[in-house]
Structures are given as C-alpha cells and as structure tokens.
C-alpha cells in the first residue's frame, strides 16, 4: 500500500510539473471574480464559457472574492469546472463596509433622494460597497498581490467567441494598461460632484496627467465638463500596477475623502475610466474589438474576420457600438 500510495503521489506531482512546463500560461495574470454565494448559477455559466472559449488552453488562475466566506457547496460547484488553479478569498472588512466617518444621515438622505429620481441601485448600500471596493481595494487583496494583469469576470455574462491568443501577453507585448469591450455614458445623477473632484485633483497634481492622454474620450470641451463616457467595467483586462501607482492612489484618496461613494453613488466604471483616460497615454488603452461579450442588456459582437475566426455565437448586427448610446464615436475621435 505504501509503495502504491507513494507511486500515486509521485505520478500526480509529476503530472503537475508537466502542466507547469507545458501550460502556455506566460503572463503574470489572473481572472478576478467578485461574487456572492447566491450568484452561484451565473458564476458557473460565466466560468464555463471562459474555460471553453479560452482558458482550457491557457490555464490562467482564478481568484474569487466575496465579502463573506464562500460555502463548501459554492467552492465545489466552481472547482469542478477547471483544473486551472483557483483560490477563494474573503475581503477584509475595512475594504468593504461604509467607513465610520461617513455621516450616515447624509448618506441615507441621498439614497432616498436618488430613489425618488429613479436611479438604479439608488437605495443600496452594498452596491456602493462594491463600487468602492472595485475602485480602490480589489488590487490590494492578498490573493491578488502576486499578480500584475487581471481579467474581471461577472456572473451571467456571455463570451461569444473563441480567443486563440493570450490577451494578457498582448497587453504586455504592446505596453497596454487598460482594455475594454463596451463604452457608454454614466447616469449623471450618480456622480453629481465627481468631475469637480477630478478637476480639483488635476489642478493640484498636474504632473500625473499624461501628455498624450485620452481626455477627448471623456470630455467634449477640453476638460471643463465630463461627457459621462466610460469603459463598461464589468469587463476589464488591465494592469493592477496602474491602480497601485502613486497617481491613482492619490487620486483615489481624494475621491474617498469626499465621501462620494456613499453621499452619491460613484461607480468604479467612471472612476477607472477617468483615471485611465487622464493618467495614461491613449496608446496604453486598448479596445478588444475581437472579444465577443455580453453583460445584460448590452453586447459587443465582433465584426468581419474577427467574427468568423472567433466562431462567434452572436449576430454581428447586434452590436452596442452601432447604437447612439455607445461612446465608440468619442473613442474613435481621439485617434483622428
Ligand atoms: P451591475 O453589473 O452594475 O448590475 O452590478 P452586479 O450586481 O452585477 O454587481 C457587480 C459585481 O459585484 C458582480 O460580480 C456581483 O457578483 C458583485 N457584487 C455585487 N454586490 C455584491 C455584494 O454585496 N457582495 C459580493 N460578494 N459581491 C457583490
Ligand atoms: Mn453585473
């Protein structure tokens, strides 16, 4: 029995080192998936598609994060989907909950006012926790500290196409920092004072503004006002070292000090997008036109050769880029 057990042990570790050598995983990168135990159904379908369309060949690891411990049932339902490394983390309380110094009366009043205005998630504190966590904290989680690049995944999303190359290596090779698939305007009522705060930051820290930036994507008037355009952040392939940089840390600290994540409902999408558009040169941003992606109720379906090469399971005519609500026009404009 000893001998057999020993042999079994040796052969499985040999198999593991074989995987390490033969795996095409090359970049220092991981998937990041923030979710709740109750999201399990949509978590499974999202991971299954990514594995089938991409990761079964590349074996990039998965990091799942939650503000409470994942249940055994959740972990087993997810682990069965792949042999890529998977880890499950709990978010430290101070990275999640509404800070004590926030005036709860003022926050509650604004939640009520926004509810009357019919703003989505207006009354939700947990949604605000999530937005603040994604804006300023996820990349500080101990499970993510070893990694540079990440690909953000959400429950119930669709990946329509095969991806035969490694987008992380694409980012690394071409010096890209932030990648997206869908752009759109934010609801103005969620970020009433955000742009004033951005202007305050830029006035006192002009050194962080990149020379060849993408201000033209987020403003129609040279920075006087925000046009509300943002990269839809439920999809992100990006470099966490940017969020860890001095520029972004100081930027986030100022936003945090205003309390706007709770007194308003600042989203991680406009926060990330504004920072990426100002502090990076536009060449560091990348539109993944070849990635077919849907997060209800919008989708990006690749066109032409991207569509056929990717064997995409979407109608190329159904493409948010073509609608009046897309900010693709503002994006294309900055490269003219
Ligand atoms: P939407 O895409 O803006 O409609 O927001 P979602 O409900 O999809 O939330 C965005 C992401 O954060 C998803 O991956 C959710 O699973 C996750 N999320 C939202 N709220 C919570 C929460 O209270 N706890 C945890 N652990 N995850 C959350
Ligand atoms: Mn979502």
Would residue 123 count as lying in a domain? yes
Residue 147 CB coordination number (10 Å): 21
CA 317 to chain centroid: 26
> What sign has the CA pseudo-torsion 194, 200, 202, 204?
negative
Distance 237 CA to ligand 2 centre (A): 16
Evaluate whether residue 12 is within a structural domain. no
Task: Name the domain count of the chain.
Answer: 1
Mapping DSSP to helix (H, G, I), strand (E, B) and coil, where does residue 302 land?
coil
3-class secondary structure, 149: strand
Q: DSSP state, 55?
A: I
Among protein residues, the one with the nearest Cα to ligand 1's atom 16 is 35
Phi, psi (degrees; rounded to nearest 5) at 70: -70, 145
Domain assignment of residue 62, yes or no: yes
pLDDT score of 177: 98
Give the residue among 295, 301, 233 at the shortest CA–CA distance from 267.
233
Phi and psi at residue 168, in whole multiples of 5°?
-65, -45
Task: Please name the helix (run of DSSP H) or strand (run of DSSP E) that holds residue 54, with its range, or none.
Answer: none
Query: Which residues does ligand 1 sit against, CB inside 6 Å?
Result: 34-36, 39, 66-67, 126-127, 130, 154-155, 234
CA nearest ligand 1 atom 17, residue: 35
137 part of a folded domain: yes
Find the DSSP H helices in the chain.
2-22, 40-50, 56-58, 72-79, 104-116, 125-136, 167-173, 194-204, 215-218, 240-243, 246-258, 260-263, 268-279, 304-309, 328-333
Do the domain assignments include residue 231?
Answer: yes
Q: Which residues are catalytic?
A: 236
- State the pLDDT at residue 8: 45
- Output the residue whose Cα is nearest ligand 1's atom 15: 35
For residue 289, tell me if it sits in a domain: yes
Q: Which of 34, 50, 65, 270 to mutate to test the pocket of ligand 1 (most atoms within 8 A of CB)?
A: 34
Residue written as token pair 């941003």 = 285
Which atom of ligand 1 approaches the CA of 33 most closely? Answer: 14
Ligand 1 atom at minimal distance to the Cα of residue 34: 14
Domain assignment of residue 3, yes or no = no
ipTM for this model: 0.99
pLDDT value at residue 336: 81
Nearest CA to ligand 1 atom 5: 127
Query: Can you tell me which atom of ligand 1 is nearest the CA of 156?
Result: 8
Each residue's pLDDT expressed in tens, for the chain with a length of 336 residues? 344 443 444 455 665 555 555 567 799 999 999 999 999 999 999 999 999 999 999 999 999 999 999 999 999 999 999 999 999 999 999 999 999 999 999 999 999 999 999 999 999 999 999 999 999 999 999 999 999 999 999 999 999 999 999 999 999 999 999 999 999 999 999 999 999 999 999 999 999 999 999 999 999 999 999 999 999 999 999 999 999 999 999 999 999 999 999 999 999 999 999 999 999 999 999 999 999 999 999 999 999 999 999 999 999 999 999 999 999 999 999 998
Rounded to the nearest whole angstrom, what is the distance from the C-alpha of residue 35 to the centroid of ligand 1?
Answer: 6
Ligand in nearest proximity to the CA of 68: 1
Q: Domain of 39: which CATH number?
A: 3.90.550.10
CA of 130 to the centre of ligand 1 (A): 6
Distance CA 275, CA 279 (A): 6
- Ligand 1 centroid to Cα of residue 172, in Å, is 28
Whole domain around residue 231: which residue ranges? Answer: 26-333
In a domain, 8, yes or no: no
What per-residue confidence (pLDDT) applies to 105? 98
Ligand 2 centroid–CA 143 distance in Å is: 22
Looking at the chain, the number of H-run helices and the number of E-run strands are 15, 12
């Amino acid at each position: 029995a000893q001998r057999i057990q020993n042999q079994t042990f040796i052969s499985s570790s040999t198999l593991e080192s074989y995987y390490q050598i033969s795996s095409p995983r090359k970049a220092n990168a991981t998937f990041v998936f923030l979710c709740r135990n109750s999201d399990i159904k949509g978590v499974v379908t999202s991971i299954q598609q990514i594995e089938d369309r991409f990761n079964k060949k590349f074996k990039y690891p998965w990091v799942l994060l939650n503000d409470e411990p994942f249940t055994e049932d959740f972990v087993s339902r997810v682990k069965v989907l792949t042999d890529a490394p998977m880890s499950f983390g709990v978010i430290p309380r101070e990275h999640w909950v509404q800070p004590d110094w926030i005036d709860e009366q003022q926050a509650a009043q604004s939640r009520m006012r926004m509810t009357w205005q019919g703003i989505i998630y207006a009354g939700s504190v947990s949604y605000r926790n999530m937005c603040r966590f994604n804006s300023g904290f996820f990349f500080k989680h101990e499970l993510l500290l070893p990694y540079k690049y990440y690909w953000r995944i959400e429950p119930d999303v669709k990946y329509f196409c095969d991806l035969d190359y490694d987008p992380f290596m694409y980012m690394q090779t071409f010096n890209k920092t932030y990648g997206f698939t869908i752009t759109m305007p934010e609801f103005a009522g969620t970020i009433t004072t955000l742009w004033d705060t951005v202007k305050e930051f830029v006035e006192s820290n002009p050194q962080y503004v990149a020379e060849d930036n993408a201000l033209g994507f987020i403003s129609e008037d040279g920075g006087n006002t925000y046009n509300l355009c943002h990269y839809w952040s439920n999809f992100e392939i990006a470099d966490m070292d940017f969020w860890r940089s001095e520029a972004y840390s100081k930027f986030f600290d100022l936003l945090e000090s205003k309390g706007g994540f709770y007194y308003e409902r600042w989203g991680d999408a406009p926060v990330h997008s504004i920072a990426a558009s100002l502090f990076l040169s536009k060449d560091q941003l990348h539109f993944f036109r070849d990635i077919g992606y849907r997060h209800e109720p919008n989708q990006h379906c690749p066109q032409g050769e991207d569509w056929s090469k990717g064997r995409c399971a979407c109608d190329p005519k159904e493409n948010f880029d073509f609608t009046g609500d897309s900010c693709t026009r503002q994006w294309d404009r900055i490269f003219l």
